């Protein structure tokens, strides 16, 4: 499947709609540069879908329950007639000519662990297994190179990854190694002409480097060229290859940065790159800049930009001339005036002296910074994920009512580089919770709100964060919402039969080891509920959730109700029609309920 593509093709271009096949399987004969491929992910009803077009064929993965077990339907893109179905797999797949490469999962643990090649007009039972990953700490995924000439299969744990490639023109040749399994080394691969470009992270080069190696001998370290060296203050997050350019997506001082380098002509020796053009993003103190997938042979780079007060729009960069054009979204909000809003970036001091960034937004004509405003504080802080401050339309209903909304960029995330993540996991996981508490205290001390006006919200591992700080400092908050929270850490991590548990050992620790056991027990929310006052709390879960079993939030709420010494609400809501992720309508309904709960808890809704 790979990343969703936003290539701008019309529907007819995507499926070559004027072609009239002689058979249901027939696809148009086009030279490689004219062939159109397209990927998209969408959700509607209770269905999650992933789809990819190749010529006149469409492959579409559907999950109708929310348990993230998919069927892939291959159909004629014009008629919609389903030709064949691949059942019980992940949503991760790619076309390899007229064959399909997909990832299968372990039926018990839901771990993506096998790569298969499916030839059209054949039964799924006869599909060829290209690779089986035996180590239960690793999962597999497949992604196409930017030029669509290769597929890259990656086996990854939380600390290590290595890669194979498949020549799309010769899928029958199977997988060949690009990088080897080396503990503590992460690699991802791109391709241009005679070279593989490898983004590589090691313990020493923690913010990553970019190297190039010949396609003919990718494992020969002596043939490598360092394209971009490691820098302690700048994290290389991803690279994006074009025919004549290399785009590097970086993070510096916690903010996204995009730098463009010109490449030498085809056939010339790859060299170390210097200088480069950094895309100017203006003066916003905090923002989100997300790369959009573009055509490999194009000289136009597209970046989706937004802030907490700026709806998304696209920067188009002409990489030949460095000209940057802002393209407004066709779906701009009516009657929305960004000048009515203020965004700020502040820094809270953690208990060990570390400065923690906070992104803040409020409506300047509705808020006085005297401690009287209601405030919603959210955070995540796990898996090296970056919680970048992008436009959140649902927050508008709070902002117009005088709320301040804020994001605490706590350790365990990836906003400030690799070490920011390393200092919020394993034996240092407590930093995630104490950082969030420090951010809450900063907002109170600086008159953004008071304890009586402070609400908090987090999802999944962010729900763990919320429930963890509730146990540690329940006096700081008036209302808390934890959505599908991972709260029974010890019980889950002690049971390898629970879905994806083994994949998480390098994130949270192995509780079969004494040091890890007592560390995890010190913050696991279920294991730290005690007799004290708790704020109004709303917890959500889903019956078909394959990532956080619904028993975890239920157990946490039951313990809260049993132990608490107050009269505040402790609510549990379970969805029986979805999983860890909700489709759009259900998500909007849940957000409305959450915001109503928060406003009621903060005494902003009068009693009937």
Which one, of 403, 413, 406, lies nearest residue 381 by Cα?
413
Per the annotation, the verdict on 136 as an active-site residue is no
Q: Do 362 and 389 meet the contact criterion of CB atoms below 8 Å apart?
A: no
**Max CA-CA distance within the chain?**
76
Q: Do 304 and 290 meet the contact criterion of CB atoms below 8 Å apart?
A: yes
3-state secondary structure of 576: coil
Q: Do 347 and 355 meet the contact criterion of CB atoms below 8 Å apart?
A: yes
Reduced 3-state DSSP string for 285-337: CCCEEEECCCCCCCCEEEEEEECCCCCCEEEEEECCCCEEEEECCCCCCCCCC
Q: Do 216 and 177 meet the contact criterion of CB atoms below 8 Å apart?
A: no
Phi, psi angles (nearest 5°) of residue 306: -160, 165
Which one, of 304, 185, 200, 294, lies nearest residue 247 by Cα?
294
CA pair distance 487, 494, nearest whole angstrom = 14
Q: Do 227 and 239 meet the contact criterion of CB atoms below 8 Å apart?
A: no
Per the annotation, the verdict on 580 as an active-site residue is yes
Q: Do 215 and 171 meet the contact criterion of CB atoms below 8 Å apart?
A: no
Per the annotation, the verdict on 460 as an active-site residue is yes
Burial string for 40-54 (b: 16+ CB within 10 Å, else e) reads: eeebeebebbbbbbb
To the nearest 10 degrees (0 to 180), the angle between helices 430-445 and 514-523 is 30
Residue 270: is it exposed, middle or buried by C-beta count within 10 angstroms (0-12/13-18/19+)? buried
Catalytic site residue from 39, 191, 409, 580: 580
For 489, what's the count of Cα atoms within 13 Å in the CB-facing half-sphere?
28
Phi, psi angles (nearest 5°) of residue 89: -125, -175
3-state secondary structure of 574: strand
Q: Do 234 and 205 meet the contact criterion of CB atoms below 8 Å apart?
A: no
Catalytic site residue from 186, 545, 575, 601: 545
Which one, of 53, 57, 54, lies nearest residue 23 by Cα?
57
Catalytic site residue from 91, 306, 359, 460: 460
Q: Please give the sequence-ordered ranges of beta strands (E in DSSP) within 549-588, or none if there are none.
A: 570-575
Which one, of 160, 174, 168, lies nearest residue 191 by Cα?
168
DSSP character at residue 279: P
Q: Catalytic amino acids?
A: 460, 545, 580
């Amino acid at each position: 499947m790979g990343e969703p593509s936003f290539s701008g093709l019309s529907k007819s271009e995507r499926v070559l709609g004027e072609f009239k096949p002689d058979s249901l399987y027939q696809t148009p004969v086009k030279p490689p540069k004219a062939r159109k491929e397209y990927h998209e992910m969408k959700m509607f009803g209770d269905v999650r879908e992933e789809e990819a077009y190749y010529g006149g064929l469409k492959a579409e993965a559907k999950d109708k329950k929310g348990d993230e077990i998919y069927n892939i339907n291959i159909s004629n893109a014009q008629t919609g007639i389903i030709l064949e179905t691949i059942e019980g797999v992940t949503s991760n797949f790619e076309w390899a000519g007229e064959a399909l490469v997909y990832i299968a999962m372990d039926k018990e643990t839901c771990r993506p662990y096998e790569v298969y090649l499916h030839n059209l007009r054949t039964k799924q039972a006869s599909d060829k297994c290209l690779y089986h990953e035996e180590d239960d700490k690793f999962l597999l995924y497949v992604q196409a190179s930017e030029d669509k000439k290769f597929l890259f299969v990656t086996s990854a744990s939380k600390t290590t990854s290595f890669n194979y490639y498949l020549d799309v023109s010769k899928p029958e040749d199977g997988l060949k190694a690009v990088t080897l399994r080396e503990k503590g080394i992460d690699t991802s691969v791109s391709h241009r002409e005679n070279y593989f470009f490898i983004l590589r992270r090691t313990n020493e080069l923690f913010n990553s480097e970019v190297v190039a190696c010949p396609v003919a001998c990718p494992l020969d370290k002596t043939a490598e060229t360092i394209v971009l060296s490691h820098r302690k203050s700048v994290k290389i997050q991803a690279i994006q290859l074009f025919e004549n350019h290399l785009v590097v997506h970086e993070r510096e001082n916690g903010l996204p940065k995009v730098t463009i380098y010109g490449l030498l002509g085809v056939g010339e020796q790859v060299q170390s790159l210097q200088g480069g053009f950094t895309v100017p993003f203006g003066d916003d103190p905090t923002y989100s800049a997300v790369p959009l997938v573009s055509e490999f042979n194009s000289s136009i780079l597209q970046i989706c930009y937004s802030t907490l007060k700026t709806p998304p729009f696209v920067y188009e960069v002409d990489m030949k001339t460095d000209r940057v054009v802002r393209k407004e979204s066709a779906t701009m909000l009516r009657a929305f005036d960004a000048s009515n809003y203020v965004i700020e970036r502040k820094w809270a001091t953690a208990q060990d002296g570390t400065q923690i960034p906070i992104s803040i937004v409020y409506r300047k004509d509705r808020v006085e910074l005297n401690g009287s405003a209601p405030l919603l504080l959210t955070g995540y802080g796990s898996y090296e994920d970056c919680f970048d401050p992008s436009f959140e339309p649902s927050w508008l209903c709070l902002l117009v009512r005088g709320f301040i909304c804020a994001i605490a960029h706590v350790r365990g995330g990836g906003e400030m580089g690799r070490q920011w993540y390393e200092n919020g996991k394993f034996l240092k996981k407590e930093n995630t919770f104490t950082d969030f508490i420090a951010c809450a205290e900063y907002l109170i001390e600086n008159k953004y709100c008071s304890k009586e006006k402070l609400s908090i919200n987090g999802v999944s591992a962010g729900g763990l964060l919320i429930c963890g700080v509730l146990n540690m400092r329940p006096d700081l908050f008036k209302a808390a919402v934890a959505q599908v929270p991972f709260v029974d850490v010890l019980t889950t991590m002690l049971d390898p039969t629970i879905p994806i548990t083994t994949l998480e050992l390098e994130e949270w620790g192995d509780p079969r080891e004494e040091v890890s056991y007592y560390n995890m027990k010190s913050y696991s929310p279920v294991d730290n509920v005690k007799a004290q006052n708790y704020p109004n709390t709303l917890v959500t879960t889903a019956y078909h959730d394959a990532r956080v079993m619904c028993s975890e939030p239920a157990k946490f709420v039951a313990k809260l109700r049993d132990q608490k010494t107050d009269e505040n609400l402790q609510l549990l809501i379970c969805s029986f029609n979805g999983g860890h992720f909700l489709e759009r309508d259900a998500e909007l309904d849940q957000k409305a309920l959450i915001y109503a709960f928060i406003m009621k808890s903060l005494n902003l809704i009068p009693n009937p």
